[in-house]
């Protein structure tokens, strides 16, 4: 205690003398006012002092103080290891979402609540061969209906500390990126298994407004496995005019099962890609692997799909919008991020698809 008091008196005297000298120099114009170190210089000084204290461990470098605080370098702040925060975010890789790139995304809906398209529900059936003077038979089968797209709203929100926003220059873009990834995940889930009532209608949902059960193919598959014959049956249940541009969709579990599948000659039917960025192939058609496609292998469940994804239409009334509310939660020192989107989607031509179903 006596030693600390003596040091305090010495430092106090030294500080007083230096203040007087600075005042004399300022008045005489002999020396400009000292410039405060920049943040980088201060950080470098703290790092140097911290490392020196760790190396030497001397009494002069590591002193004891009656009151310690990390934000004051002269009061043990040098003993606190500084942190440099980088903008790269450590996280798991986001799941792939591909439907909005492969589907037919319609022009945004602007001046109406929904978008209607005429649909031919039955073709003509009146042509007959006859004589030169034979009268035609009037057609009674041609029929039309309507396909309506009514964008559904989706919303999410997140609160972020204003202190974090202030101290980390890139946190705003990181938060926006996380919101976009979350929305993409929810959209992809809806495009696969959405109910069509409160969200888009999914490819793997049986519906007369999308892909009915008549487009399900289970012949050749067992209750727990896809088989060579079953996959061929699904592929060739699609008419030739829809084969161009057709692709497969399977879950990760489904792809694993397919990669082990052999034909009757004992040859693997899977064609793994050897070029980066090029998809794997099944019967010469690209395979999309989705974390959001059904992956449970039980009797009567859907496990895959074949078809031209351009026949899945997406209609947006409002693209993803992110609002930043700085004042709403000012009392709790937080910024509120709100995301909104209004969108709908559905398969529009069932004949262009075939769903792979277990036996």
Does the structure show a pLDDT above 60 at 53?
no
Closest CA to 188 of 105, 100, 316, 318: 100
Q: Average pLDDT for residues 319-337, to the nearest whole number?
A: 89
Convert the pLDDT of each residue in 268-303 to its tens digit. 989 998 888 889 999 999 999 999 999 999 999 999
**pLDDT value of position 65:** 42
Contact 154, 342 (CB under 8 A): yes
Q: Average pLDDT for residues 91-112, to the nearest whole number?
A: 83
In Å, how far are 124, 167, 301, 316 from 227, measured between CA atoms?
A: 38, 57, 14, 38
Does the structure show a pLDDT above 50 at 80?
no
Lowest-pLDDT range, 45-59, 139-153, 157-171, 313-327?
45-59
Measure the CA–CA gap between 80 and 118, rounded to whole angstroms: 70
Tell me how crowded residue 296 is: count the other CB atoms within 10 A of its CB: 10
The DSSP H or E segment spanning 288 is strand 285-289
Measure the CA–CA gap between 106 and 311, rounded to whole angstroms: 12
Contact 64, 147 (CB under 8 A): no
* pLDDT band at residue 188 using 50, 70 and 90 as cut-offs: very high
Measure the CA–CA gap between 53 and 82, rounded to whole angstroms: 14
The percent of residues in the chain predicted with pLDDT above 70, rounded, is 77
């Amino acid at each position: 205690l006596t030693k600390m008091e003596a040091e305090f008196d010495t430092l106090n005297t030294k500080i007083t003398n230096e203040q007087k000298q600075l005042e004399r120099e300022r008045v005489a114009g002999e020396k400009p006012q000292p410039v405060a170190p920049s943040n980088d210089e201060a950080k470098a000084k703290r790092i140097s002092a911290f490392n020196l204290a760790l190396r030497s461990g001397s009494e002069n470098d590591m002193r004891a103080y009656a009151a310690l605080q990390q934000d004051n370098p002269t009061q043990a702040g040098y003993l606190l290891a500084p942190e440099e925060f980088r903008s790269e975010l450590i996280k798991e890789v986001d799941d792939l979402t591909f439907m909005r790139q492969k589907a037919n995304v319609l022009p945004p809906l602007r001046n109406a609540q929904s978008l209607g398209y005429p649909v031919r529900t039955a073709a003509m059936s009146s042509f007959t061969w006859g004589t030169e003077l034979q009268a035609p038979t009037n057609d009674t089968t041609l029929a039309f209906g309507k396909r309506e797209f009514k964008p559904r709203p989706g919303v999410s929100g997140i609160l972020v500390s204003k202190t974090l926003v202030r101290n980390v220059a890139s946190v705003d873009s990181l938060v926006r990126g996380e919101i976009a990834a979350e929305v993409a995940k929810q959209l992809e889930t809806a495009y696969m298994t959405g109910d069509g009532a409160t969200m888009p209608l999914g490819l793997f949902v049986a519906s007369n407004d999308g892909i009915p059960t008549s487009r399900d193919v289970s012949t050749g598959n067992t209750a727990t496995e896809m088989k060579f014959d079953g996959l061929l049956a699904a592929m060739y249940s699609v008419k030739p005019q829809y084969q161009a541009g057709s692709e497969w969709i399977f879950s990760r579990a489904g792809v694993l099962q397919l990669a082990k599948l052999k034909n009757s000659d004992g040859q693997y039917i899977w064609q793994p890609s050897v070029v980066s960025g090029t998809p794997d192939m099944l019967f010469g058609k690209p395979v999309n692997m989705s974390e959001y496609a059904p992956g449970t292998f039980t009797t009567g469940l859907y496990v895959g799909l074949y078809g031209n994804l351009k026949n899945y239409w997406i209609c947006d009334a409002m693209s993803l919008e992110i609002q930043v509310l700085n004042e709403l939660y000012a009392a709790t020192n937080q910024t509120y991020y709100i995301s909104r989107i209004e969108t709908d989607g559905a398969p529009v031509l069932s004949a262009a698809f075939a769903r792979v179903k277990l036996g």
